[in-house]
Amino acid sequence: MKRVWLKKIYLITHLYNIDDKLRTCKLESFLKENFDVEIYMPYRDSKEENIDKNIWKQEIFYQDIKALNEADIILGYVDGPDFDEGIGFEIGYARTIGKTVIILNSDFIKYRINGKISNKIDPLIDFLGIKFFQIKYSLDFENFCKSLEEKYSQLLNLVDLDCKGNILNLKKLKEKNDYFIETGNEKFFYYMFYNSNISQRLYTFDAKEDLNNLLTSKKVYIYSNGMQMHFGSAIIVGICYALKIPFFIINDRLIYIKGKELMKANLMIDVACEGYIDVRDFINEFK
């Protein structure tokens, strides 16, 4: 018998390969078999094949924002050496507006942050009250799904009782800083702007000061390079968008993401940001 558990779930997932999608579909099947839930899966339910290519990014973006606003719980798993920047945006936005976020991780990867070893890539995960759980790592897909189901079954018992708890509701504070620079894990950029109002949490293991500086700044600059923006930086993007804090991406990428057009970042970040600033122009202006 299904449990009477009338909740709307936003199911977060990577999009990069068939294995990610299969795992998420398996999770959806488990949830529907055991709970009376409505599930929104972004890459599937946005129905992008029916959207005019001229408004493709914006339409998907606002569909996903609407689904996040309506969801009771944001739920899913993250794996890999650097978590997905689109997921980072989604959970940063969701926690800011007071949603419960649960993410699972099956990696054996550990991160060294200011001499401390953690399975969490950024101190913001704990500071924002995101429920983060490790599940058993397995190369066998069926065993992975079994472990996933067992853990979710335990978690959903907890969430059913606690889904209204742990609400964040961040607020923009009175401005005292002209800007805040979020560098993620880019050490070179961090030391170049060391005396500026710059993110410190990956060196202090304390996210409180970063968040306070972010909330009291007129605008935010967020560094992005490589394939993925740092996960913590993507969370900050979501916070900025939810609080209507203007933010710009300091772009150092040589790689573009192709959907129906070339993008410099994940679709959610590409639409939400005020614009891109070439890293060389930024350095010349601020130094």
Q: Residue 171 corresponds to which amino acid?
A: K
- Residue 243 pLDDT: 93
List domains and CATH numbers for the chain.
3-162 (3.40.50.450), 177-286 (3.40.50.450)
Tokens representing 151 are 């853990």
Whole-angstrom Cα distance, residue 237 to residue 221? Answer: 10
Regions of the chain with pLDDT less than 50 = 158-167
- Are 193 and 183 in contact by the 8 Å Cβ rule? The answer is yes
**SS3 labels along the chain:** CCEEEEEEEEEECCCCCHHHHHHHHHHHHHHHHHEEEEEECHHHHCCHHHCCHHHHHHHHHHHHHHHHHHCCEEEEECCCCCCCHHHHHHHHHHHHCCCEEEEEECCCCCEEECCEEECCCCCHHHHCCCEEEECCCCCCHHHHHHHHHHHHHHHHHHHHHHCCCCCCCCCCCCCCEEEEEECCCCHHHHHHCCCCCECCHHHHCCCHHHHHHHHCEEEEEEEEECCCCCHHHHHHHHHHHHHCCCEEEEEECCCCEECCCEECCCHHHHHHCCCEEEHHHHHHHHC
- Other CB atoms within 10 Å distance of the CB of residue 143: 12
DSSP bridge partners of 103? 76, 132
DSSP bridge partners of 262? 258
- Residue 256 pLDDT: 64
Instruction: Using the Cα atoms of residue 186, residue 192, residue 198 and residue 201 in order, give the sign of their dihedral.
Output: positive
Tokens representing 246 are 């203007």
pTM score, two decimals?
0.87
- Are 34 and 2 in contact by the 8 Å Cβ rule? The answer is yes
- Residue 55 pLDDT: 75
- Residue 64 pLDDT: 94
Please name the residue that has the structure tokens 């997932």: 13
- Residue 29 pLDDT: 82
CB neighbour burial string for 87-112, b if at least 16 within 10 angstroms, e if fewer: bbbbbbbbbbbebbbbbbbbbeeeee
